[in-house]
Structure 1
Amino acid sequence: MTLRKKIRYIILPVIIALSAMISLLYYHLYKNQIIENKITLLNGRLENQLLHAEYQLDYVKSYLRQKIESKEASLIFNAKQGDNNLSAPDITAFLNLFVNRKNSANKSNHVINDFVIFDSYKKLIVHINTRDPFAKPMLKTTTKAVLDQIFDQADPNKKISQYHYFLDDPYINKMPSLYIIQAFSRYQLSSKLFYESNEDTYLAQAQLDLNFFTEEIRVLIDENNGYFNYRFINKNTNADNFSFTSTPFQVNDNGAYEGRFGSSLFDIILTLDKNYFAEQLNNLIATFLLLNFIVIILSYLLLIWLIDQQIILPITKLAKSIKEVEASLVVELKPLTTKDEVADLNESYISLINKINTLANNDSLTGLANRGSFNEKLSAIMDARQKNKTYVALFFIDLDNFKYVNDTFGHDTGDRLLVVFSQRLQQLLRAEDNFISGNMIDSIARLGGDEFVILMNGLPSIETIESIGKRICDLFHNGFRIGEEQFDVHASIGIAYSNDHQINGEGLLTQADDAMYLAKRAGKNNFKLFSDEIKEKMLFEKNIENELIDAHRDNKLHLVFMPAYCAETRILRGYEILLRCPSLLNVGIGPDVFIPIAENTDLILAIDLWVAQQTVIRLKEVIHKNRFTGFFSFNVSSKSLRNDRFYTTLKEFINTSDINPKQLELEITETCLMPDDHQAVASLDQLKSLGVRIALDDFGTGYTSFGQILNYPLDTLKIDRSFVTDLRNTPVGQKPTLDIIFELAKAYQLSVIVEGIETQADFEHVKTLGCDIVQGFYFSNPRTWTEVLKHCGKLHQIDKRPDQQKNIAC
């Protein structure tokens, strides 16, 4: 899934959730505001109802006073006072006062429904009913009680209130009627609010609808039909003082809004249904849902566009550039001008790619070009090369004895040596002079391990090439010094060159490698230029290597056995096992040629194991058949000495053959041993633990001193034949080197074997020195295995003079 899709899948639910939460918050705010506004409006209506009712009450009371104080009313009072009958015109005139005024509250034409005046003796003075002219006057119980108060002689000074109020019993589904009783004296209508009970007092009883005072409530209920419930509570009392009160809408215990309007006579409780707000809230929800949907879509599209523009597109461009860099292996990323994380990521990738290219093209230890980078450079130069007068040269450098430094002093020291050498090499080549200029150097590289190469172009002559090789060798004059430390490290340099396009880069590198191997064989700190002679020599060695491979694979290698005799008793002491390759021997190539070639490859490991196995097998056979008590010795290469497999395999051979390991002697050369070579010491100790004997072969041809020999677990010194040959050329009176070696060997209690004895004089000389064992053609040629089995029933003594026993096997 792409980053763009992931972001979209993440953003959409986040936007929906945020929008939903914000909408929910605003919905609750608007909901509360709507409810608050509605309740405020309803409370305002209740307040208006209160003001309206109070106004209506004052209006009714004023209306009654006007009627009672009217001229028409006075005619009636005067007539009743004189006991005269009321005339029809007077009654009609008084009636018109009531019927000509409209009652807007109850939607009738009258304010007063029923009006009665009684005197203090409960005698009817006048009765008017605006709805039913034939209705009979009714003296209400409360009105009667008021009249009784007027004539209550128990307290002649008792005063009565001017107004009394009460409700009658309501009809079903109808509001009750409100009765207003006004006590008055026709002589003091406006002068007093209270009258003495003994005064000439009248009582006016007015009946009117309660709706006259609750007009706003009725309208409110009608406007909100179905959402308001109201209850009328009659307090069943009467009052001298009458006023209206209201309580704002509030939430009751049931969670509904409840408001009150009432007086001392009654209460009207208004309950607002919960669904009252539903319609507006549903509209609000629909509005918010629509807005929420629009906001989600717009926000999503806007955010996607912004993220695409600000994040995805830069990252996509960066990813595309990285892929192009990966494909082309060229840094094409450019720094971004934006100051954001993408720019930081781009910078990090630029830095990373630079580091990767550095690691890909340079050696991590020395900082020089590595093998891959060098090969590309070499191929490019050789492919573009045209025939001209200048040369392209490739210097292949191998550090001799570096492995010894690495194993002896540690890898840190070895790494430091490589770094210092690479630095000095660069300084040498960049120091421009008459031979070298900076533009001639195309590449200085470390191929791996202790192998370095230099590729130079435009060199004017072969002499210049040789001069550069010599200057590199001079870096290792008397070894390689780092600070106060001197290391026995030198350089073998192979040089290949060309001034045409007839050879490619791989061929040039192979030629330099071949020349380097010949330089290494020629001695320390040397260089060789590749030539046709070297080409023929390398081809010759390659053919020999192939013959050895075939012979080993086809089991065509065979062994010969060189007898070794006790110098004192001339008794056979053992045999040295020598390797032969018949196919090479037929063309005159002996082990002195093919063994060094095998040692340059891993083929020597397989050959050494084969020789070891055959030696153990033959030793077991000769012991079993002839009760042989002498020794068999065979050569072990330096590679096998440092190979753990050789030790484990030889141990297995000895254990399975059940031979006495003391009858086995392993011969190693001086080249296997280096000063303070702890690995060699450890390997020899390990082999010595098997019970075998260790002999140092060809002693004197290397640089091993007697002091160093003491560090190794050696049993025998085999002195090289060259010292025997030198006997014949040593001037009279001068002590031969052979004699000095014998003296030191005896001083260190080492057994000595001298090989290469070819004359009686040679034998007599070494015998006089106290030599232990002698070998040479003077005594015998190498023998075949058949001859060994035939003549070695026991270890024979040589009966005749040695010079007569040349062809005697034992």
Structure 2
Amino acid sequence: IDIRVSAQFLDRLIKSSDSKSIQDIAIFNLREKPITYINFEDPFADASVTGPTHFLINKINNAIASKNRQRIFAHYYQITATETESDEIQLFRIFSPYLLVSQPLYNYTNDLVVIQTRLKPNYLKNLFNQEISQYQEYLSVEMFTHPLTEKTLNNSIVVEQIEGVDSYRFTVKVFDGIVNINLKKAFFNSSLMNLKIKIGLGALALSLFCYFILHLLIYRQIIRPITELAEGVNGVQKGNSDSLIPLNTNDEVAELNNSYLALIERIQQLANNDELTGLANRAYFNRELDNKLDSCTAETNTLGLLFIDLDNFKYVNDNFGHEAGDRVLVNFANRLTNSLRKIDRAKKQQQYQCIARLGGDEFVVLLEGLPNAEELEAIAQRIVGLFDLGFEADGKTYDVHASIGIAFQFGNKHKADAFLQQADSAMYAAKKAGKNSYCTYDDSLDNQLKEQKYIDSEVSKALRQNSLYLVYLPYFETETLEVKGFEVLLRAPELEKKGIGPDKFISIAEQSDLITKIDLWVINEALNKLANLQSMQGFDGTLAINISSRELFNDGFVAEVSSLMEQYETPPYKIIFEIAEAPLLAKDKKVLVNLTRLKALGIKIAIDNFGINYSAFSHLNHY
């Protein structure tokens, strides 16, 4: 049996054991005789029975002798440790070649053997020290003493902590034994410092990372879009209208960009377009005319200009209200645009054109590429044809017509101001010719324009210097040859030297508000003269004063006359106003109102040159 135990068991035990941690292994029978002994440090050493081994063998023998069925476990261990000596761990196993003794034994036989295994001294302490080697400066371990104990007893681990002045004491209960571990507080200071450094470095790295991410997001989401918006705004300010484009993103910058773009478009529309008609305005037209003249360098390039003025438009405003006048302007703008489009379609070519409203009832059309002035005249004739039967707007026909001036040139012979002035002069020539007609500019019109400017300047100068004077043409009683009155006639001495009489300078003055100043000056001088004749010579006749037909459309004229009559204490029946026949034919309400007011003052009205136009005596009944 001893040989079999040694041969079978020892080989497996050695192979399964960690010889580096075992001091020796001995197998004893129940008579405490060694069956096998191996010492890993001294191969010549003899086996010796330790106290615990002796205790176990006696325990087994007593159980066999008493037959009391006392339990005997297969595994035991003992830990011995003191403050002066090394700790020692002994492991025991009860083994039978014939019985399975991994469980407690109740039937014993004298063939049982006890395997005694002693681990190297300080094995457990060395094991602890290996685990805490990096903390040896702060840790110290005191091993426990544990009696011989079955392995199945309490093997729980409980840790208790006691805080000292400069250290922490941890009492660890293992298998009902105690291990005391002292940990210096300096360990935590060092660890906490390292932890603080790590946390600080980690926080710094995280802060830098967050800063980078936040900076990137701010740059991409705010700074770059705002920078691009600012660059786009600067581009628009410099004239590049395409530097801003709509953004489709759903954020504040896109909303600001699109709002600013809409504002710019609105501003550009207001800056370039007439708000009432939607046509180009004067500023935009002037820029376009300058650009076309700058680019039109070759003699083969042509530019044509139509200057359109609506005749009697003031009559519509005064009698039907400004809303009716606005409707006339809007309808004319639309019909003018459609008319020019039809011309383009008829010619199967798209020519450059710019249609603009300069203001009031003045319109211009700029055309490029027409071969000759005759083409412009054909277009003008088509526009004049829109007014053949008056002009209809919103179902109502108004007595409005058009006078059109035409200017045409090759290349850039004339600058913008001169070119526009040519068309303007031609337009006034058309008005003078009878309205609702057109006239093409030529050099003779230029001479006429210069003469008109000269006359206008001289008359204005004469009014300022009070150099005009009146002559009085008497009329007599045929039977008695008694002077019954005088007709007042105006003279301009400087213009007389040039052979220019009132028939010419009055007609020119009637094209502007200058005529009103002349009329009031004449009435003032005539009433003053009448007062002198009455006081000094007892004159009892009348004064006939020619006034412009424009005064019948002037709301303030009657009040001015009334004020002068009060100033000179003029009897109203001594005054006769001679008015041209034409305005009486219009049956204008304002004309009728002003004539009624003059009649209420007591002033007599005479029709000058009656019969020149097509009025009949029946018209007099209206007045």
User: What is the TM-score normalised by the length of structure 1?
Assistant: 0.49
Give yes or no for contact 1:331–1:350 (8 Å, CA) kept in 2: no
Match of 1:557 in 2: 468
Q: Return the letter of the residue paired with 1:327.
A: K
Question: How far, CA to CA, are the matches of 2:221 and 2:473 in structure 1?
Answer: 87
RMSD: 3.6
Give yes or no for contact 1:429–1:436 (8 Å, CA) kept in 2: no
Match of 1:321 in 2: 232
Match of 2:455 in 1: 544
Match of 1:454 in 2: 365
Q: Aligned with 1:398: secondary structure?
A: strand
Give yes or no for contact 1:391–1:459 (8 Å, CA) kept in 2: yes
Please say which of residues 326-335 and 668-677 is displaced more in the overlay.
668-677
Q: Which runs of 5+ in 1 are unaligned?
A: 1-215, 224-290, 715-810
Give yes or no for contact 1:479–1:488 (8 Å, CA) kept in 2: yes
Give yes or no for contact 2:390–2:397 (8 Å, CA) kept in 1: yes
Q: Aligned with 1:470: secondary structure?
A: helix
- In structure 2, the CA distance between the partners of 1:568 and 1:349, relative to structure 1 (3 Å rule), is farther
Tell me the CA shift for residue 502 of structure 1.
1.8
- In structure 2, the CA distance between the partners of 1:419 and 1:530, relative to structure 1 (3 Å rule), is same
- In structure 2, the CA distance between the partners of 1:643 and 1:433, relative to structure 1 (3 Å rule), is closer
Question: How far, CA to CA, are the matches of 1:320 and 1:687 in structure 2?
Answer: 67
Q: Return the letter of the residue paired with 1:580.
A: R
Match of 2:608 in 1: 697
Q: Aligned with 2:355: secondary structure?
A: strand
Give yes or no for contact 2:310–2:402 (8 Å, CA) kept in 1: yes
- In structure 2, the CA distance between the partners of 1:432 and 1:641, relative to structure 1 (3 Å rule), is closer
Give yes or no for contact 1:400–1:491 (8 Å, CA) kept in 2: yes
Note if 1:403 corresponds to 2:325.
no
- In structure 2, the CA distance between the partners of 1:491 and 1:679, relative to structure 1 (3 Å rule), is same
Give yes or no for contact 2:344–2:350 (8 Å, CA) kept in 1: no
Q: Aligned with 1:628: secondary structure?
A: coil
What count of residue pairs does the alignment treat as equivalent?
Answer: 437
Return the match for 1:621 from 532, 542, 567.
532
Give yes or no for contact 2:304–2:373 (8 Å, CA) kept in 1: no
Please say which of residues 318-327 and 487-496 is displaced more in the overlay.
318-327
Match of 1:336 in 2: 247
Match of 2:273 in 1: 362
**CA deviation vs aligned residue, 1:567-593 (integer Å, no higher than 9, x gap):** 676543211111011222233221111
5 Å-filtered alignment, 1:630-649, equals 630-649=541-560
5 Å-filtered alignment, 1:725-804, equals none
Match of 2:433 in 1: 522
Question: How far, CA to CA, are the matches of 1:392 and 1:406 in structure 2?
Answer: 34
Match of 1:656 in 2: 567
Match of 2:76 in 1: none
Give yes or no for contact 1:425–1:472 (8 Å, CA) kept in 2: yes
**CA deviation vs aligned residue, 1:509-532 (integer Å, no higher than 9, x gap):** 000000100110000211111111
Match of 2:295 in 1: 384
Q: Return the letter of the residue paired with 2:493.
A: P
Match of 1:683 in 2: 594
Question: How far, CA to CA, are the matches of 1:295 and 1:561 in structure 2?
Answer: 107
Tell me the CA shift for residue 644 of structure 1.
4.7
**CA deviation vs aligned residue, 1:477-515 (integer Å, no higher than 9, x gap):** 132234643222111111011113221122110000001
Q: Aligned with 1:439: secondary structure?
A: coil
Note if 1:605 corresponds to 2:532.
no
Question: How far, CA to CA, are the matches of 1:548 and 1:378 in structure 2?
Answer: 33
Give yes or no for contact 2:544–2:576 (8 Å, CA) kept in 1: yes
Q: Return the letter of the residue paired with 1:481.
A: E
Give yes or no for contact 1:631–1:665 (8 Å, CA) kept in 2: yes
- In structure 2, the CA distance between the partners of 1:700 and 1:331, relative to structure 1 (3 Å rule), is farther
**CA deviation vs aligned residue, 1:736-770 (integer Å, no higher than 9, x gap):** xxxxxxxxxxxxxxxxxxxxxxxxxxxxxxxxxxx
Match of 1:201 in 2: none
Please say which of residues 529-538 and 581-590 is displaced more in the overlay.
581-590
Note if 1:480 corresponds to 2:391.
yes
Give yes or no for contact 1:435–1:464 (8 Å, CA) kept in 2: no
Please say which of residues 366-375 and 672-681 is displaced more in the overlay.
672-681
Q: Return the letter of the residue paired with 1:679.
A: K
Identity across matched positions, percent: 43
Please say which of residues 380-389 and 671-680 is displaced more in the overlay.
671-680
- In structure 2, the CA distance between the partners of 1:570 and 1:303, relative to structure 1 (3 Å rule), is farther
Question: How far, CA to CA, are the matches of 2:501 and 2:612 in structure 1?
Answer: 20
Give yes or no for contact 1:331–1:354 (8 Å, CA) kept in 2: no
User: What is the TM-score normalised by the length of structure 2?
Assistant: 0.63
- In structure 2, the CA distance between the partners of 1:661 and 1:606, relative to structure 1 (3 Å rule), is same
Match of 1:66 in 2: none
Return the match for 2:443 from 524, 528, 532.
532
**CA deviation vs aligned residue, 1:306-347 (integer Å, no higher than 9, x gap):** 455423542343244223313316243112242223223322
Q: Aligned with 2:612: secondary structure?
A: coil
Question: How far, CA to CA, are the matches of 1:619 and 1:295 in structure 2?
Answer: 105
Tell me the CA shift for residue 356 of structure 1.
2.0
Match of 1:112 in 2: none
**CA deviation vs aligned residue, 1:281-313 (integer Å, no higher than 9, x gap):** xxxxxxxxxx99999999899767745542354
**CA deviation vs aligned residue, 1:599-652 (integer Å, no higher than 9, x gap):** 112222221121111011101101111112221121222444444554444333
Tell me the CA shift for residue 418 of structure 1.
1.5
5 Å-filtered alignment, 1:70-89, equals none
**CA deviation vs aligned residue, 1:330-371 (integer Å, no higher than 9, x gap):** 243112242223223322322222222222112122221111
Question: How far, CA to CA, are the matches of 2:419 and 2:514 in structure 1?
Answer: 26
Question: How far, CA to CA, are the matches of 1:690 and 1:292 in structure 2?
Answer: 100
Question: How far, CA to CA, are the matches of 2:228 and 2:350 in structure 1?
Answer: 38
Question: How far, CA to CA, are the matches of 1:295 and 1:684 in structure 2?
Answer: 94
Q: Aligned with 1:699: secondary structure?
A: coil
Q: Aligned with 1:577: secondary structure?
A: strand
Question: How far, CA to CA, are the matches of 1:372 and 1:357 in structure 2?
Answer: 11
Note if 1:415 corresponds to 2:326.
yes
Tell me the CA shift for residue 559 of structure 1.
0.5
Q: Return the letter of the residue paired with 1:536.
A: N
**CA deviation vs aligned residue, 1:236-277 (integer Å, no higher than 9, x gap):** xxxxxxxxxxxxxxxxxxxxxxxxxxxxxxxxxxxxxxxxxx
Note if 1:425 corresponds to 2:336.
yes
Q: Aligned with 2:256: secondary structure?
A: helix
Question: How far, CA to CA, are the matches of 1:557 and 1:295 in structure 2?
Answer: 95
Question: How far, CA to CA, are the matches of 1:647 and 1:697 in structure 2?
Answer: 19
Tell me the CA shift for residue 594 of structure 1.
0.9
5 Å-filtered alignment, 1:258-273, equals none
Q: Aligned with 2:369: secondary structure?
A: strand
**CA deviation vs aligned residue, 1:385-415 (integer Å, no higher than 9, x gap):** 2343453210111111111112212222222
Q: Aligned with 1:422: secondary structure?
A: helix
Q: Which runs of 5+ in 2 are unaligned?
A: 1-159, 166-201
Q: Aligned with 2:238: secondary structure?
A: helix
Question: How far, CA to CA, are the matches of 1:382 and 1:565 in structure 2?
Answer: 64
Q: Aligned with 2:527: secondary structure?
A: helix
